[in-house]
Chain A
Amino acid sequence: MIGKICGFIIVLSFIFAIITGNVSALSDAIYKGADSAINLSLSLMGMMCLWNGLMQVAQSSGAIDKATRFMSPVLRFLFPDAYKKNNGMGEIAASMSANIFGIGNGATPLAIKAMEKLQENNSGGERASNDMIMFTVLGTASLDIFPTTLVALRRAAGSANPFEIIIPVWICSFVTAVLAVLLVKIVCSFRK
């Protein structure tokens, strides 16, 4: 799926660049893209090591189990398979709280860790499990309670009240997330 999308974007961009005469900008962009991918991977690597290490510590100290028990009614509804197999709930709980508290780069490594657990439940198949779809779709719905970057941008642009958008953002995020969950549940009930 991602391969097809990548291919589509590349071919479309190439055709556009030829038509609009942006070819030199295009070749610049190719190098820049590859460059920033590796830069991002390197900075992710640092964050991944840190957060994976902290997760391991949190796990063996029992902190994860407590957090999971606290969130378990919600998690049980969202991720029935992981709940049944009792594998990955802690990782999901940690990653979702990271998203909610908006620790930015910390959330991605934790999410990947959770995906790895869900992939174990999926017995390493190439086809996404229902839990994985739910987890990823929720990952794309921004659950962040403190949109710090956004508020900083608004303040920098001279807004009279940079914070005025917070409550509508909460409403919008919440309603969007509920819709996302419903859609995933509906789509998954047709899969098998």
Chain B
Amino acid sequence: MRKVNTILKVSTLVVPLCIALFGLCLLLSKKDMFGEFTKGAASGMKTAVRLAPTLVALMCAISMFNASGAAEYIANMLSPVCKKIGLPSGIVPFVVVRPLSGGASTALISDIFEKYGPDSFVGRCTSLIAGSSDTLLYIISVYFGAVGVKKTGGTLPIALITMFFCVFFASFLCRIFF
């Protein structure tokens, strides 16, 4: 417990430490490091601009999906199926939204914690899934959108299969650990 607390404290130090090292570099290096920084920063600016149109389309679609009631309907439809294969039905809305939106899935996590408690089976399952999966649709669109690649090969199906596996494995681990 104490140890983990220290680890978390150290992890909040990582970013400030990077910047501090940068400061040292500015002070000590003989090369024009500030010039290097601005050169890199300018290229970051260009990438961000190139990315915005992809994000507008994607986030409109996701926001519509949540507001239209489609997300809820699909979650309701899937929950009896989940019960049959041994997954708690409480996690279904979260699992449906998880690949799409980070903000909405965070909202659903605290919703589940409130409803079932963070130390319940559902709460722990949700924690494990949240800790080992990510907003895959967003990531895939951003990574490939930024470089203009349209044919993404097997990326999406592989990411989805991995995520499904993650959901099952998380509930399996919960049964073993707690």
Contact = CB atoms under 8 A, between A and B. Distances in A.
Interface of A: 1-3, 5-6, 9-10, 12-14, 16-17, 20, 22, 25-26, 28-30, 32-34, 36-38, 40-41, 44-45, 48-57, 59-61, 101-103, 106, 108-109, 111-113, 115-116, 118-119, 122, 125-128, 130, 132-133, 135-137, 139-142, 144-151, 153-154, 156-169, 171-173, 175-176, 179-180, 183-184, 187-188, 191
B85 interface: no
Contacts of A51: 44
Tell which of B33, B62, B103, B148 has the most Cβ of chain A within 10 Å.
B62
15 contacts: A33-B63, A34-B56, A48-B45, A52-B43, A53-B39, A102-B14, A111-B143, A116-B47, A133-B153, A142-B133, A150-B131, A159-B117, A159-B118, A180-B158, A180-B162
B131 A144 contact: yes
A156 B11 contact: no
Interface in B133-148: 133-137, 139-148
B40 A16 contact: no
Contact of A136 (B31, B106, B140): B140
A183 B154 CA distance: 9
B27 interface: no
A1 B63 contact: no
A111 B142 CA distance: 10
A139 B14 contact: no
A141 B134 contact: yes
Contact of B142 (A59, A108, A160, A172): A108
B33 A60 contact: yes
B135 to A, nearest CB: 8
A38 B53 CA distance: 9
Contacts of A116: 47, 146-147
A173 B137 CA distance: 18
Tell which of B61, B128, B134 has the most Cβ of chain A within 10 Å.
B61
Contacts of B19: 54
A183 B80 CA distance: 29
Contacts of B15: 103, 106
Contact of B59 (A36, A130, A142): A36
Contact of B149 (A49, A126, A175): A126
B83 to A, nearest CB: 22
Contacts of B25: 57, 61
B150 A1 contact: yes
Nearest to B10: A146
A188 B110 CA distance: 38
Interface string B113-136: 110011100011001101111111
Given A37-B58, A116-B146, A147 B68 contact: no
Contacts of B110: 153, 156-157
A36 B143 contact: no
Contacts of A28: 67
B130 to A, nearest CB: 5
A146 B7 contact: yes
B159 to A, nearest CB: 5
B56 A140 contact: no
A57 B40 contact: yes
A37 B152 contact: no
